[in-house]
Amino acid sequence: MRGKQAPKRKILPDPAYQSVVLAKFVNYVMEQGKKSTALTIVYKAMESLKKKTGLNPLDVFEEALKNVMPLIEVRGRRIGGANYQVPIPVRGERRYALAFRWIIGAARNKKGRPMAEKLASELLNASNKEGDAVKKKNDVHRMAEANRAFAHFARFSR
């Protein structure tokens, strides 16, 4: 690697809920640099969550994230001419990144409704431990469990 590693940028909390995690989520929702559009989508989804549940939407959002974040994943390792799927623990930042990606991906795959509605329903489902994003997490955990025999290769990884 040449030069120095770029310093981590500090993300400012979002204007309405004062949450850094929600601000990061807005950045993941954003497409083609349109942050105001992404903010509108996320805030409409939060309003919808508030109407549907009657609870604080930030609590529902955090519960959904907690239910979607993976603890362990598999990574491909080439050892002696064979590729093994080696289960490794997921570090903090990547857990959030994967959870965001899976929730947004599940919402985008639904058709026929505005993005804010799709996102709200996916967050609500995830907070109730159901929906496509939670299914994805369970698949990843199942895959890691199935490849537990190769866990001893993990200590040689990067």
pLDDT per residue of the chain (158 residues) written in tens, 0 to 9: 789 999 989 999 999 999 999 999 999 999 999 999 999 999 999 999 999 998 999 999 999 999 999 999 999 988 888 888 899 999 989 999 999 999 999 999 999 999 999 999 999 999 999 999 999 999 999 999 998 888 888 775 55
The pLDDT value recorded for residue 156 is: 56
Report yes or no on 2 lying in a domain.
no
Report yes or no on 10 lying in a domain.
no
Q: Roughly how many angstroms between the first and final C-alpha of the chain, as a whole number?
A: 14
- What is the count of structural domains for the chain? 1
Report yes or no on 119 lying in a domain.
yes
What range does the domain containing 142 cover?
20-156
The pLDDT value recorded for residue 77 is: 87
**What is d(CA 111, CA 113) in angstroms, rounded to the nearest whole number?**
6
Report yes or no on 11 lying in a domain.
no
DSSP-derived secondary structure letter, 69: -
Residue 86: phi, psi to the nearest 5? -100, 125
Report yes or no on 36 lying in a domain.
yes
Report yes or no on 70 lying in a domain.
yes
CATH for 97: 1.10.455.10
In terms of pTM, does the model score above 0.75? yes
Report yes or no on 50 lying in a domain.
yes
Report yes or no on 85 lying in a domain.
yes
